[in-house]
Structure 1
């Protein structure tokens, strides 16, 4: 009785603790199970993201190989004369010299009955001994019988002793089918090809890729046109294992994922379950599709031409993506420990105060945390800065403020969407955290702005520059977003206390000034504040005020530089260029105030002044001369821009056909639909449109087809390299060919020598502009004389 009497009060005394312990154990088990399910989902998501990334890397690598085959087609279709065997071998070798996955490249011309003897003789004359057009019969070759049409291997990167020369693809059913498919659809076609002749080292079947080539200048609009105008095919045979391994090595692909590539489905489902892959990234990975399907795997496709090959990915055995449940175990352990703590806590009768303390702490953390990145926010940063600054005043250690701004982040948001921008910010936050010490403070201030407090360095200046350099290098490395590879940079401004002051507001302002200097210096760099920056800011503010006055008081001038017809040398018009004649500083060049005008919005009234003045001046020129005026990207955001242009033409009396509007590529990156509609309105009014500085920006060919341009202006940087860099000639020639195909003219800017001008004429440029033909001049010094003759050009 005594024992039971004593047990009852003990049970009543510890009942809350026992109940809490029981509930805590239950919740721990439930929580561990929930976390295990969550870990399972997270592991799957991480694996699928990694697999998709590897698949994308493989696809990009394959596209690079195929694009080089397309370059061979361009060689055949753009050449004025027949491509020789030597030219083919040299060009092919250069294209694929660092691409070991290409087994061989061949030129397969279309040969009719009458041409057969000539082709055979030509090949023998080129050194291919005993060349003859031959057909495949069994495991060997025989002379091809007479027929109306042949598709023999004529050029090849194989040694000239190879049996492949002369093999008629028309006699191999699967290869003939892929040739016809490529020809009729005017597209790249492929198939899984068995090599003919001796196999080396048990080599697996390869991928054969076919690119149709048509006679230069002929139509390919219909199937009939394409069959009639076919010139032949560029054929590439890829060594898939070597190609894929090369891509993975070159790109530093993750070893956590095993990737298998299988041939395209043929309808034989049962046999495919046992099919071996043409390539596997891990020797001990399951090979058959049925084995892959039994475990965690990801399925996708690798597009080679018009054929989809099958891709299967699995986590590498014992790799980081193998299913683990460490967090679930940790949750269970932590839950049990918390349960024990809670029971003890209840016994000590302090549960309520403890809960209140935890709640207050959590509220404070949420209030000082950036939700997107999990970093401290502006409020926490300022609070911590105030605390450290107070310690400095009491004899504490020196510290630095690093202000960071991401370069080209706006391009990511505009082109990929805000979801991609948020994902990028999270990745940037992780990289920044990895570069810091535990004592450093990293915060996101808002948008793409971050800030760092660094203290306790033996040499604070050296420590800050070392950290800034490390951060710049980290952020410059590519970021992998779902389906995209993004490259950005960061501009950094540094202020050091107490060298640059001890007032919090002044330190932040000086770090911002240093950040502004980094942006102005070309971005992706860091700058430490110096006193000259404050003076520069004051000078910039003064210059901005002077520019406002200059626009209001008409202190701006418009000078004109001629552009000429490349064939006859006759002047075809003038480009309007703004100049600022300051009352005390004299003539200020545009590079010192145009950027300022764009940043402050003054470019809008300045641009209107230039356009109106240019139209008014050009109205008095001979009727065969046009005037070209640049529009800033900032002006495109003005709703009344079209009305302003129309008013300038109407007030001056200048016909719209004599006005040419020059637009830079940056205009096309934003508000694509609105800008396209605006340009169509300009075209419908009769105004000419030119794409300015082509080649210095993104140079997307889609701009040329999507937007209604009449002219392409090649940037002067290509002209400077024209006479000593063959690549510049090749680029200009390609631009000219492309422009002709799109019914556009081409102007070369920055022509300064007779040699450059003659070279540009040979390349087919329509117009030329530069110091060779005249420097920019005010209206009262312009000459409207006869066409420039060669002697005059030499004198110029």
Structure 2
């Protein structure tokens, strides 16, 4: 080879090496990009896989919890129907016949599969045994006798002090269950005793042989104690003494659970198993097989369930907690498949590092921003105390439903709730207890509504519910209101206290009562106001008469304001007499309203309105000043009595107003008697006591008005400085034909005498009543017998005045 050939060969080698170096230089960014892209794709796929797993877990747990709530609500519905049967027994005066029991039981569970039978177990003493056995035979239960379970055989029960046998049952009258004494069966007697002593619904797992005798099926026996009508059950001794029997229901738990899931459209993606309550007999989780399983192919023992993804909860039946375990159904949508993770890995291998990084950062920032915005929106529409939606959310949802109505949407109803006696809890136990009570109320209300309903706290102790999607909206709203009233009426456990409240409910239905927010809320409020006026702890559906009443009330309120401003009010006076001498001792001042169009309006038509609107304050001051001014011109031995409203007691300057009325009129304080109703003493006890002591210190006499009604308590007589007790006229009205009224009046007189107080009887209308009252020791008497209330210009103040008033009456 020549030199030239060697040079050419070296040149070609150097050129090849340069090409390789150049190729490596060109591929290096691509290789780095590919390596980094693969690395980030794997990392992204793993992150998405974890995210999918978390999302799947949350979805599964939410679905499982929903199923558990649905099952619990369904079970509560079954048990509430047994409670309705208890109500039948406890409200009956003559007793419940076998026919009534069978008819009522059949209707209660007509569309409720899963019930095997219902039985009535009366309390039968040794002396009543033969009578009950004969009565059952007379009702068609052939060969009825009280029996006990001896091994697997039934035998006649030996003589004992008490029996609780199956007396009524939904089973055919030929069934051997009739006569079985539950109290002689060790397992069931303990549950009966627990239900009786605790006044709670109890439950026990039991096993009944199937009809073919092939094996045992798990069932639940629910026991509801029934007590004699009108008897006490405050203590264990009371409950043992007053128990009258038990309503017993036996449920086929698998069939019952299956029926609940079918009726509510339970998701097939969740497999639910229900296990018996834990007990000492359960050796291991392998032995604990389900009493109910929604899918036969799902894991059976609790240990098998615990090996995979599962959700744990409880199913309360009576006072017993069954165990609920849920797992995703095999092949269902809640099984994690990691489809998104595979897609991310595939796409990530095709994308460059910059694009992958950009997308990941953008996705992360977008998600954070979305979560932040969502959180801000939730806070703006959530009540912080209870976690419920607030007024803003409620009004927004209401506007949305109203807009749907214009497009032919479904009807819905609004329930406005106001808690009764909540203010008493706040005042007596503090705002912390009030807040805790509101949270407990919110939990109970949530348990009473469906997932599609909207429950919101509007503020204070006001709640509201939107219920939609019912064929008969009126009936559904009524049922919901009844359920809520029962739930709220049950005692609430607060630390160191047991609080009982109620709720008043007003209902408006769209579109029957309006199609816009303002109309519906106004009419629901009107219905709520009617419920409060009707005695509280009840519900009212709006009707058109309420709007008319509101308009009339507003008109009357405006007229009353004008009457106070224009001095259209009058003060009339009714005398009260010394029962022993017959001499007149003074007058009670009574306000009257002479309307320019309607004439004289009685006080029972405007006093309550004046108290609600606050007009009672200027009205009461007018009466006080007029009465003092008129009495100043009377003989010095005559007194004047003036009523003070509870609303006036809340005025800080009331004492100065009374002093000014005495000072301006020149009336001696010893001639003024202030009458106070018992409701004043329920609130601000310390402040009101101090105020009354100030009145006493200047010589004013104090009278407890309408004693014997409302919240009467002997503690008022010793705790507050009263000079006189005024017995309500309802006792006087019954004096001549009810001996108890005489005994009550005699007791009041004796008590008052011991406390150095005098007694006035109101509403005396006949001479016979007056004579009896004098014999009972009453000090003063007042009523139509001595004269009706008259204006000042018709009262004669000389010795013939009493006769003149009696003639005027």
TM-score by length of 1: 0.57
Q: 1:244 to 1:522 in 2, by over 3 A?
A: closer
1:151-179 deviation per Cα after TM superposition (whole angstroms, max 9, x unaligned): xxxxxxxxxxxxxxxxxxxxxxxxxxxxx
Query: 2: distance between equivalents of 1:772 and 1:416?
Result: 48
Q: 1:699 to 1:8 in 2, by over 3 A?
A: same
1:464-613 map, 5 Å:
464-613=477-626
Residue from 708, 722, 731 that aligns with 2:744 = 731
1:561·1:777 contact (CA, 8 Å) conserved in 2?
Answer: yes
Question: Contact 1:570 / 1:787 at 8 angstroms: preserved in 2?
Answer: no
Could you list the runs of 5+ residues in structure 1 that have no partner in the other structure?
A: 1-5, 26-239, 253-283, 286-317, 331-335
* Structure 2 match to 1:181: none
Q: What is the aligned partner in structure 1 of residue 650 from structure 2?
A: 637
| 1:710–1:745 contact (8 Å) kept in structure 2 | yes
Secondary structure of the 1:697 match is: coil
Question: 1:381-404: per-residue Cα shift (whole Å, max 9, x none)?
Answer: 111111111111111111111212
**In structure 2, how many angstroms separate the alpha carbons of the residues matched to 1:736 and 1:341?**
89
* Alignment of 1:760 onto 2:773: yes
CA distance in structure 1 between the partners assigned to 2:341 and 2:754 by the alignment:
82
Alignment of 1:188-587 (within 5 A): 243=237, 246=240, 353-354=366-367, 356-587=369-600
Instruction: Write the distance in 1 (CA, Å) between the matches of 2:555 and 2:235.
Output: 65
Does the 8 Å contact 2:399/2:517 carry over to 1?
yes
Deviation per residue, 1:723-773 (Å, 9 max, x gap): 333443333333223222222112222222333333333333222222222
Q: What is the distance in 2 between the residues matched to 1:464 and 1:22?
A: 45
Q: In the alignment, which of 722, 725, 730 is matched to residue 712 of structure 1? A: 725
Separation in structure 1 between the aligned mates of residue 457 and residue 322 of structure 2, nearest angstrom: 33
Residue in structure 1 matched with residue 251 of structure 2 by the alignment: none
Q: Residue in 1 aligned with 2:758?
A: 745
Q: Is the 8 A contact 2:399 2:516 kept in 1?
A: no
**What RMSD, in angstroms, separates the aligned Cα atoms of the two structures?**
4.4
Cα distance in 2 for residues equivalent to 1:399 and 1:531: 18
Indicate if the aligned counterparts of 1:20 and 1:339 stay in contact, CA closer than 8 A.
no
Q: Secondary structure at the match of 1:564?
A: strand
2:795/2:801 contact within 8 Å kept: no
> Structure 2: 5+ residue runs without aligned partners?
1-33, 54-233, 247-278, 281-315, 329-333, 349-359
CA distance in 1, matches of 2:342, 2:695: 80
Query: Residue 765 of structure 2: SS of its match in structure 1?
Result: coil
- 1:671 and 1:611 map into 2 onto residues whose CA distance is 23
Alpha-carbon distance in structure 2 between the residues aligned to 1:566 and 1:345: 101
Give the 3 Å change call, closer, same or farther, for CA 14–744 of structure 1 in structure 2: farther
Structure of greater relative contact order (alpha carbons < 8 Å, 6+ residues apart):
1
Task: Say if 1:10 and 1:513 are closer, same or farther in 2 by CA, change over 3 A.
Answer: same
Summarize the Cα distance change of 1:418–1:763 in structure 2 as closer, same or farther, 3 Å threshold: farther
Change (3 A) 1:319 1:503: closer
Pair 1:16–1:590, CA change in 2 (3 A)? same
CA contact (8 A) 2:705 2:728 kept: yes
Are 1:654 and 2:648 counterparts?
Answer: no
Structure 1 contact 569–788 (Cα < 8 Å) conserved: no
Cα shift readout 1:410-457 (whole Å, capped 9, x = no counterpart): 222223322332233233323333332222212111111111112222
Q: Is the 8 A contact 1:571 1:787 kept in 2?
A: no
Structure 2 Cα separation of the partners of residues 557 and 504 of structure 1: 43
Note if contact 2:584-2:802 (Cα within 8 Å) is conserved in structure 1.
no
Between the aligned partners of 1:639 and 1:674, the Cα distance in structure 2 is 11
Tell me the SS of whatever aligns to 1:576. strand
Contact 1:579 1:588 in 2 (8 A): yes
**Does the alignment pair 1:687 with 2:696?**
no
Per the alignment, residue 783 of structure 1 pairs with: 796
Query: C-alpha displacement at 1:538, in angstroms?
Result: 2.6
The equivalent residue for 1:675 is: 688
Task: Give the corresponding residue for 2:782.
Answer: 769
Compare CA radii of gyration and give the structure with the larger one: 2
CA contact (8 A) 2:784 2:806 kept: no
Per-residue deviation at 1:653?
A: 1.5
CA displacement at 1:581 relative to structure 2? 0.2
Whether the 8 Å CA contact 2:420–2:536 is kept in 1: the answer is yes
Give the total of aligned pairs: 513
Deviation readout 1:310-360 (Å, 9 max, x if unpaired): xxxxxxxx9999999999x99xxxxx9999999999979565555554444
Report the Cα distance in structure 2 between the residues aligned to 1:423 and 1:752, rounded to whole angstroms. Answer: 52
SS in 2 for 1:495: strand
Q: What's the counterpart of residue 734 of structure 2?
A: 721
